Amino acid sequence: MNNMYRVCFHAARQAAGLKASRLLQHRAFRASATHRQQPFDSSLEKPQFPGASAEFVDQLEFIQPNVISGIPVYRVMDRQGNIINPSQDPELSKETVLNFYQKMTLLNTMDRILYESQRQGRISFYMTNYGEEGTHIGSAAALDPNDLVFGQYREAGVLMYRGFPLDLFMAQCYANADDLGKGRQMPVHYGSKDLNFVTISSPLATQIPQAVGSAYAIKRENANRAVICYFGEGAASEGDAHAGFNFSATLECPLIFFCRNNGYAISTPTNEQYRGDGIAARGPGYGMMSIRVDGNDVFAVYNATKEARRRAVAENQPFLIEAMTYRIGHHSTSDDSSAYRSVDEVNYWDKQDHPISRLRHYMTARNWWSEDDERSWRKQSRKMVMEVFERAERRLKPNPELLFTDVYQEMTPNLNKQRESLWRHVQQYKEHYPLDMYDK
């Protein structure tokens, strides 16, 4: 009892003491103001506010946002694949660049086939990555394979780069018995423990503060790892984005925030999403190093991510990369984007400024890639995707038992009861359930 009173008194004393000293300051100020004898030069006064470090000004002036001429867009090569400033050329080997290209195009091929398969009702849902392949591959290549990835849902290229098998992409979309997620989530909600890619969930931006927490834990492990967290410019409007940015800065986390600014959040254009200079301009407000890059330039993305990764790990501070792109495809298979934007606009980005064609120009200019290579790779990649596609389609769905597991680590008595009740029911009404499609 005694002990606890002491603690309480201590707290009360502290609070009272604080108040008293503030009161004194206040009184002293008033006294000096009334009894001041000597001339006082107010320009020598320095602000003492704990909340900011700044000078006084004697003119009323609101700070104006700079949105007309915003943060510049960093690029390494032009739309024809020419390196603009040789000092910025990452000088990647032919094999590396070929790998970039093949991963981007393989993702594109997979997108086309799965998009069509949804149109035919063979899978329930799909989201393509058209136009954003460069952001995935460029950033993934700049990371260490051990770096933990938190994504939104349009980052399949990161998994592709890390070697996620086509079979598992398909298994997830088909929710078949091979799916690591046990068929519980909608298509494109991929995850891989082995490849350090945290499972995608639908609620937007929730992964942002989570990525910060993981980065904090990783910093404490001292294991030379970083975390990267992807999100769209629409998701950046969520409260969780604010939470994540602010926490990462105050808690000094080795983390890269990677924003894919593709101009749209479903039908909402960016001018209805924000009025500042995009997302990059918010970074400095949180005390965060920030940059804007050309998301259709895989080398610009690579360079920015590489440097952000190096410094994030060395200095334990967050970095923000805003990659400017254009969402060429529909938002998802449940969306027809011609209802809110023109076909001409889409065509410009598809034909004139695409990350895949830009890299192809670069490779062609170096004689690393020919028309023949292109033809045979297209054929080969299509064949690869079709093979796994057909395999995935033939595979049974997971055992319905898996509806009940992993809710908790252990099976609770309540859930066990419900599981048994389902089995009894299904035995009785067999003919009304698609049992033959599921593993036994």
Catalytic residue positions? Answer: 116, 202, 331-332
Residue 330, judged by CB atoms within 10 A of its CB (0-12, 13-18, 19+), counts as: buried
CB of 19 vs other proteins, minimal distance in Å: 11
Contact flag: residue 127 with other proteins (CB under 8 A):
no
Half-sphere exposure of 303 (CA within 13 A, CB side): 22
Q: Which of 88, 99, 185, 268 binds other proteins (CB under 8 A)?
A: 185
From residue 409 to residue 428, what is the string marking binding to other proteins with x (rule CB under 8 A)? xx-xxxx-------------
How many residues interact with other proteins (rule CB under 8 A)?
60
- For residues 113 and 170, the answer to whether their CB atoms sit within 8 Å is no
Strands across the sheet with 148-150, in order? 73-74, 289-294, 319-324, 255-261, 227-232, 148-150
- Token output for 32: 């000096």
Site for other proteins in 189-228 (CB under 8 A): 189, 191-193, 198-199, 201, 203, 206, 208-218, 220-221
Q: Which of 71, 73, 83, 251 binds other proteins (CB under 8 A)?
A: 251
Give whole-number Cα distances, 230 to 23, 153, 170, 208, 433, in Å: 48, 9, 22, 8, 39
Contact flag: residue 244 with other proteins (CB under 8 A):
yes
Site for other proteins in 135-164 (CB under 8 A): 148, 150
CB of 427 vs other proteins, minimal distance in Å: 22
CB of 13 vs other proteins, minimal distance in Å: 9
Contact flag: residue 243 with other proteins (CB under 8 A):
yes
Q: What is the greatest pairwise CA distance in the chain?
A: 99
- Token output for 151: 């994504």
Stretch near other proteins under the rule CB under 8 A, chosen from 38-46, 68-76, 174-182, 260-268: 174-182
Residue 72 and residue 410: Cα distance in Å, rounded?
52
Q: Which of 81, 131, 157, 181 binds other proteins (CB under 8 A)?
A: 181
CB of 439 vs other proteins, minimal distance in Å: 14
Phi, psi dihedral angles at 216 (to 5 degrees): -65, -45
Residue 11 and residue 17: Cα distance in Å, rounded?
10
**Sequence-separated contacts (24+) of 363-366 with Cβ below 8 Å:** 363/81, 363/97, 363/98, 363/101, 364/81, 365/81, 365/82, 366/94
Contact flag: residue 338 with other proteins (CB under 8 A):
no
Within 10 Å of residue 222's Cβ, how many Cβ atoms?
A: 7
Contact flag: residue 81 with other proteins (CB under 8 A):
no
Contact flag: residue 246 with other proteins (CB under 8 A):
yes
CB of 116 vs other proteins, minimal distance in Å: 27
CB of 122 vs other proteins, minimal distance in Å: 22
- For residues 160 and 136, the answer to whether their CB atoms sit within 8 Å is yes
- The enclosing H or E element of 323 equals strand 319-324
Angle between helices 371-394 and 166-174 (to 10 degrees): 40
| Residue nearer to other proteins on the CB measure, 112 or 184 | 184
Q: Which of 79, 242, 311, 341 binds other proteins (CB under 8 A)?
A: 242
CB of 334 vs other proteins, minimal distance in Å: 20
The residues of the shown chain that bind other proteins, judged by CB under 8 A, are 1, 3-5, 7-9, 11-12, 15-16, 148, 150, 179-182, 184-185, 189, 191-193, 198-199, 201, 203, 206, 208-218, 220-221, 239-240, 242-244, 246-247, 250-251, 405-410, 412-415
